[in-house]
Amino acid sequence: MDEQRIWAPWRLAYIAGEEDPNAPPPEPDDWRPGAKPSCFLCRASASYELAEEAQRRNLVVETGEHTVTLLNRYPYSNGHLLVSPLRHVGKLHELTPAEHLEAMQTLARYTQVLEKLISATGFNIGLNLGEVAGAGVPGHLHWHLVPRWPGDNNFMPTLAGVRMIPQSLEALWEAIVAFGSAEG
């Protein structure tokens, strides 16, 4: 996705000296068995001593027993989440029943969270399996949960265009994490 985006909030944080957009991602203290350090989903699934800081930097909103849920850094729409098994597996049949179940329950729960938090009125939920199907990280499968609103952009635009992402990722991350703590 090379699409151009207007991303003023990040830039403001950068200009204010709060954030270095080129800072390397935090180094895990412990990787999951079989993890690939080059895989951002493995990085999001790893263990960190400074857990909250790492969650913020990796945009992780929740780590379950079998899955991790994070904001997509390159969202198709505001609130675009990824739900992924903690394990580096790329094929649907490689998932255990417990991983399947937790992924589906997590997707269901976050449709409710995003309905309440950002008034999403519909969702596209999808899985791109294999490079030919558009998987950006073919080795580590992940469901996309894309909130929709009446009159918004088409799902998965493939041609270049400028779109507004109205809320900064960090502000949204804070809102989702706070919402989860209040509910849970």
Is residue 66 flagged as an active site residue?
no
The C-alpha R_g of the chain, in whole angstroms, comes to: 16
Q: Does residue 181 come out as left (phi exceeding 0), alpha (psi in the -120 to 50 range) or beta? A: alpha
- Chain positions contacting Zn ion, by CB under 5 A: 39, 41-42, 88, 140
Comparison of 82 and 114: residue with beta carbon closer to Zn ion: 82
| CA-based nearest residue to 77, from 43, 42, 139, 119 | 119
Comparison of 42 and 120: residue with beta carbon closer to Zn ion: 42
| CA-based nearest residue to 71, from 93, 30, 40, 108 | 40
Comparison of 103 and 120: residue with beta carbon closer to Zn ion: 103
**66, 88, 142, 144: the active-site residue:** 142
- We find the least distance from the C-beta atom of residue 170 to Zn ion, in angstroms, to be 23
Active-site positions? 142
